[in-house]
Amino acid sequence: CKWLYHALALFVQMRPTLSCQIYCTGDLLKQVQLARLFSDDKHFVDMPLRESPELVLKKFQDLVNVTPGGMLSKVQLGQFVNSSFSDPGQEFEQWEPQDWTNSPQILAKISDQKLQAWASDLNTKWKSLGRKIKDDIRIRPMFYSQIYVPHPLMVPGGRFIEYYYWDSYWVIKGLLLSEMAATAKGMIQNFLYLVERYGHIPNGGRVYYLRRSQPPLLTMMMDAYLAHANDTEFLRENIHLLEAEYEFWQKNRSVSITIGGRSHALNHYSVQVGEPRPESYSKDWELAAGLNEDTRQELWAELKSAAESGWDFSSRWFLSWPPPLPATLKDTKASAVVPVDLNAFLCKTEHLLALFHRLLGNASKAAEFQAALERRLEAVQAVFWNEAAGVWLDYNLLKKQQNQAFYPSNLAPLWTDCFSDLAAAERAVQYLEGSTVMSYKNGLPTSLARTGQQWDLPNAWPPLQHMVIAGLAKSNSSRAKEVAFSLAQNWVRTNFALYEKYQAMFEKYNVDGDGKPGTGGEYQVQEGFGWTNGVILQLLDLYGNRLTSGSPSFSSWAWIAAACIISLV
Ligand SMILES: *[C@@H]1O[C@H](CO)[C@@H](O)[C@H](O)[C@H]1NC(C)=O
Ligand SMILES: *[C@@H]1O[C@H](CO)[C@@H](O)[C@H](O)[C@H]1NC(C)=O
Ligand SMILES: *[C@@H]1O[C@H](CO)[C@@H](O)[C@H](O)[C@H]1NC(C)=O
Ligand SMILES: *[C@@H]1O[C@H](CO)[C@@H](O)[C@H](O)[C@H]1NC(C)=O
Ligand SMILES: *[C@@H]1O[C@H](CO)[C@@H](O)[C@H](O)[C@H]1NC(C)=O
């Protein structure tokens, strides 16, 4: 009986890998995606199966076998997809969070009436972003690309009809401010479930995302939840899974850098899977046109590594950068970059794991993570710190040098307390003010390079604004605090102005002109939007009594001018 049970369990676990033969790799995926049946490649890989994967694969093989050359026509593929797959977007049911409240305390902290009404709208948006995975995904996982998780969750919105890893950090912070601790806890439980099952957290909730992760923020999610709910038991039950996720990054994503005769261990994004991304298959295929087999496999692995960083895509990962060398997406070499932000996140993870173990009474484990933290601090200082620039800079393993370009991620160590120099925040302010980035009044741009990629100028992204603002705000420097506030004010005004104009919150914003929804990259800008709402709620929490919804409009300036003239006359 026990034997049967184990065989059955193993069988059930094997089944989702079978669906991966359809959604992640193989001839069926290739033929369908290269036929471009749908305008967005993500459409196909999100379609559930009408029949078992064995049967679908067999039917496809039978068709291939009777077709000279084995390549089906677009019409044949269309008919095949119609008969074997159903429409995407069916794995979730709408779900209204039980812990939602219409008057969380944060609202009372906001002085500006318009901002207060807006925050109330954002609080209400959680109801439309809430989803619960249907039970059929648990019972018949092999019919879906969606990966089952047990608890309800928030999706980002728009095109993204599954959960994402790093987005969820800002969503969870927002949920906690909306006093929805049970929903936040459920989302953390989902990620812990994924670590238990796969040993790491996939980029997003689809089997085709399984081979890559995203910026590791799980332990920071736990910390945010614990700061809100004193749930030590939850921590005790799950600390081994937080450690397991950390171990994944240490085992699978480590690099060694030797500087001045000393070796330092740090981490990078690296996905050594030399195939097109299933959800952007035809684009990756096209990009690699004309390359030989080795080079194109390498390019595809690098695109996936860049996707793992969350910054897909950006000049930050281009090898032949900065100009005058010509650089395009084809120059992506993300695994050669040792990123400041990734190491800042892991630094915080080590710090928190030491703290958590101390809290739970395991002194030896606490000491182990404390030692890891100290090694990290030393490595961050030695590899990333640039004394002349007064900031941390990404390190390139191939060029054996730092990348001098501006990215908001250069300031990430301030946010995660990964430094020991007390003057670091002051230096960071000088760094910002010494560059042109402060002249953009609609938000900090992602870089100063206009490449058409979405993680570059002119786009500005909510999580990057938050990291920089929160990092400066918590310092002891009054100058840094002032800059943090003015960045927050800029960001809030832009988001609010566009909310008034479109009644929508966007995934990213364009800092040009008066501010616009973001542009560029691989798809249309998406509306919703989980992390955007989470960041605004956090800024309103931080500065609710000071932020205002808009600068005085032209007409009010005209009134003031008229009043002055009249009084002078
Ligand atoms: C597939 O089904 C859709 C909707 O039912 C239909 O519009 C389309 O023409 C079908 N395509 C093929 C190739 O059969
Ligand atoms: C991590 O490394 C192990 C051992 O090399 C490998 O089996 C596994 O596929 C890797 N996982 C990921 C997601 O890269
Ligand atoms: C948190 O819970 C622990 C017991 O689980 C208790 O000892 C501690 O005092 C609580 N702390 C707060 C701030 O409530
Ligand atoms: C601390 O953790 C280690 C490793 O899990 C374990 O072997 C040890 O017994 C724990 N010590 C305490 C005091 O709980
Ligand atoms: C700020 O000052 C306080 C008290 O002087 C100190 O404990 C804290 O470590 C300082 N924080 C930073 C980031 O410098």
Predicted confidence (pLDDT) per residue in 214-241, tens digit: 999 999 999 999 999 999 999 999 999 9
Residue 482 has pLDDT above 90, yes or no: yes
Looking at the DSSP bridge assignments, the partners of residue 237 are none
The pLDDT value recorded for residue 223 is 98
Query: Once rounded to an integer, what is the mean pLDDT over residues 320-337?
Result: 82
pLDDT of residue 10: 52
- Taking alpha carbons only, the member of 294, 299, 290 closest to residue 317 is 299
Predicted confidence (pLDDT) per residue in 39-53, tens digit: 999 999 999 999 999
Q: Over pLDDT 70: what percentage of the chain?
A: 91
Ligand 1 centroid to Cα of residue 281, in Å, is 22
Q: Find out whether 349 and 246 touch, Cβ atoms under 8 Å.
A: yes
| Residues facing 457 on adjacent strands | 450
Residue nearest to atom 3 of ligand 2 (CA): 252
Calculate how far, in angstroms, residue 76's C-alpha sits from the geometric centre of ligand 1: 11
Tokens of 550: 């808009």
Question: What single string gives the DSSP state of each residue in 266-299?
Answer: EE-------S--GGGHHHHHHHTTT--HHHHHHH
The residues, any chain, with a CB within 8 Å of residue 513's CB and separated by 6 or more, are none
Which residue has the least CA distance to atom 4 on ligand 1? 82
More confident residue, 385 or 94: 385
Yes or no: say if 168 and 51 are a contact pair by the CB < 8 Å rule.
no
pLDDT band, residue 297 (cuts 50/70/90): very high
484-536 pLDDT, tens digit per residue, is 999 999 999 999 999 999 989 999 999 998 878 887 666 666 768 899 999 99
Is residue 200 in contact with ligand 2, taking CB distance under 6 Å? yes
The pLDDT value recorded for residue 73 is 97
> Which of the listed residues 429, 472, 476 should we mutate to test ligand 5's pocket, taking the one with most ligand atoms within 8 A of CB?
476
For position 422, what pLDDT does the model report?
87
475 lines ligand 5 (CB under 6 A): yes
Residue 569 is predicted with a pLDDT of 61
Among 46, 312, 350, 456, which one carries the catalytic annotation? 312
> Which atom of ligand 5 is found nearest the CA of 475?
13
Kindly compute the dihedral angle of the four CA atoms of residues 39, 41, 42, 44, in this order, to the nearest 10 degrees. Answer: 90
pLDDT attached to residue 321: 60
475 phi and psi, to 5 degrees?
-75, 175
pLDDT at 11: 52
- Kindly list the domain boundaries of the chain, sorted by start residue: 2-84, 422-569
For 19, the token pair is 């669906």
Q: How confident is the model at residue 442 (pLDDT cuts 50, 70, 90)?
A: very high
Reported as a single tens digit per residue, the pLDDT across 275-296 is 999 999 999 999 999 999 999 9
Of 491 and 320, the one with more pLDDT: 491
Angle at 163 between CA 162 and CA 164, to 5 degrees: 120
Query: Which pLDDT score, from 0 to 100, does residue 528 have?
Result: 80
* CB atoms near residue 504 (< 10 Å): 16
* 18: confidence class by pLDDT, cuts 50, 70, 90: confident
pLDDT given for residue 431 in this prediction: 98
Which of the two residues, 384 and 554, has the higher pLDDT score?
Answer: 384
- Ligand that comes closest to the CA of residue 230: 3
What is the average per-residue pLDDT within 385-397? 97
312 an active-site residue?
yes
Environment class of residue 436 by beta-carbon count within 10 Å: exposed (0-12), middle (13-18) or buried (19+)? exposed
14-24 per-residue burial string, b: 16 or more CB within 10 A, e: under 16 = ebbebbbbbbb
Question: Looking at 51-170, which runs of residues are DSSP E strands?
Answer: 92-94, 130-133, 153-154
**Which atom of ligand 3 lies nearest, measured to the CA of 233?**
5
The rounded distance, in Å, linking the Cα atoms of 347 and 379 is 10
The closest residue, in CA terms, to atom 4 on ligand 4 is 365
Residue with tokens 């969380």: 104
| Whether 307 contacts 212, CB under 8 Å | yes
Mean pLDDT over 418-433 rounds to: 95
Residue nearest to ligand 2 atom 10, measured at CA = 252
Distance 221 CA to ligand 2 centre (A): 24
pLDDT for residue 6 is more than 60 = no
N-term to C-term CA, the chain: 100
Write the single-letter amino acid at 557: W
Pocket of ligand 2, candidates 200, 252, 305: which has the most ligand atoms within 8 Å of its Cβ, to mutate? 252
Give the span between the Cα atoms of 486 and 543, in whole angstroms: 10
Predicted local distance difference test score (pLDDT) of residue 156:
85
Residues contacting ligand 4 via CB (< 6 Å): 361-362, 364-365
d(CA 33, CA 44): 8
Whether residue 554 has pLDDT greater than 60: no
Determine the distance from the C-alpha atom of residue 365 to the mean position of all C-alpha atoms in its chain, rounded to a whole number.
Answer: 30
The two tokens of residue 15 are 């089944």
Active site residue 96: no
Average pLDDT over residues 464-475: 98
274 lines ligand 1 (CB under 6 A): no
Gap from CA of 240 to ligand 4 centroid (Å) = 11
Average pLDDT over every residue of 99-105 = 97
C-alpha to C-alpha distance for 436 and 424, rounded to whole angstroms: 20
Q: How much is the average pLDDT of 98-111?
A: 97
